Amino acid sequence: MKRLPARGAYDSDTVFKILDEAFLCHVGFVVGGQPFVIPTGYARVDEILYIHGSAASRMLRTLSEGVHVCVTVTLIDGLVLARSAFHHSMNYRSVVILGRATLVEQREEKLAALRAFTEHVVSGRWNDVRQPTEPEIKATTVLALPLAEVSAKIRTGPPKDDEEDYSLPIWAGVVPLKLVPEGPIPDPRLEHKIDAPGYAQNYRR
Ligand SMILES: Cc1cc2nc3c(=O)[nH]c(=O)nc-3n(C[C@H](O)[C@H](O)[C@H](O)COP(=O)(O)OP(=O)(O)OC[C@H]3O[C@@H](n4cnc5c(N)ncnc54)[C@H](O)[C@@H]3O)c2cc1C
């Protein structure tokens, strides 16, 4: 972030917009000198990022002990093809969060976080599904990471070539990339004639 300060952003609007569009993060932490970087889902509620998973998960057991963590979130918007190999790049929006995660023990906060996970990935789903039972809530660990030490970095626009390279007969530009949903596939074990709900038929972020 120090090398390209023009692309850095620290305001919460920019950070929240990226966190609300993505749903996959990579959680980095060290266990006994060995760094791990584990992909996992997340949800944001106000200024807290929640991650969750099986209470048996080593990642969650380790993090609930309060170790330092680095969480990254990345959205890819395009491939930037410059005239020189050196200036090839990607258009992206990303966030890096540093801090310590804490275990969420209060039942109401835990349930709100579980709701947020579901709603963050598929808005409207929570009210359609069987709600979690007490054993299911107990079997799930939820961790909270305050969005205190956070930065965003964004690259947009065409390639930035060296001035003398602009006259070269080489195509340059951007290949935009998007996450595009396809039509929903019903579970072969669907026992009732139910049409896929709107949020599955017209999924969008
Ligand atoms: C898109 C996506 C979303 C996910 N969402 C969640 C979530 O919301 N909650 C959740 O708990 N888990 C989620 N996972 C699974 C998560 O990545 C871990 O596998 C899981 O949490 C178990 O972690 P662990 O530390 O207990 O792994 P362990 O069972 O202790 O893993 C042992 C070793 O296996 C390797 N390993 C672990 N996970 C992976 C992996 N994903 N890919 C390759 N190697 C691996 C590592 O070397 C690890 O040290 C998600 C994975 C993906 C790809």
Q: Indicate the DSSP class of residue 161.
A: -
- Protein residue closest via CA to atom 22 of ligand 1: 57
Residues 80-93 have a mean pLDDT of 98
- Protein residue closest via CA to atom 25 of ligand 1: 59
- For residues 188 and 198, what is the distance between their CA atoms, to the nearest angstrom? 19
The residue written with tokens 């920019």 in the block is 14
In which element (H, E) is residue 72 found? Answer: strand 68-81
Question: Which pLDDT score, from 0 to 100, does residue 7 have?
Answer: 67
Residues 169-195 have a mean pLDDT of 96
Residues 168-194 have a mean pLDDT of 96
Residues 166-181 have a mean pLDDT of 97
Question: Which pLDDT score, from 0 to 100, does residue 57 have?
Answer: 86
Whole-number average pLDDT of the chain? 93
**Whether the Cβ atoms of residue 174 and residue 81 lie closer than 8 Å to each other:** yes
- For residues 161 and 170, what is the distance between their CA atoms, to the nearest angstrom? 12
- For residues 31 and 67, what is the distance between their CA atoms, to the nearest angstrom? 9
- For residues 172 and 70, what is the distance between their CA atoms, to the nearest angstrom? 35
- For residues 205 and 203, what is the distance between their CA atoms, to the nearest angstrom? 7
pLDDT (tens digit, 9 = 90+) per residue, 192-204? 999 999 999 999 9
CA–centroid distance, residue 18 to ligand 1 (Å): 23
Q: Which residue has the higher pLDDT, 60 or 92?
A: 92
**Whether the Cβ atoms of residue 171 and residue 86 lie closer than 8 Å to each other:** no
CA–centroid distance, residue 61 to ligand 1 (Å): 13
Question: Which pLDDT score, from 0 to 100, does residue 79 have?
Answer: 98
The pLDDT of residue 64 is above 90: no
CA–centroid distance, residue 40 to ligand 1 (Å): 7
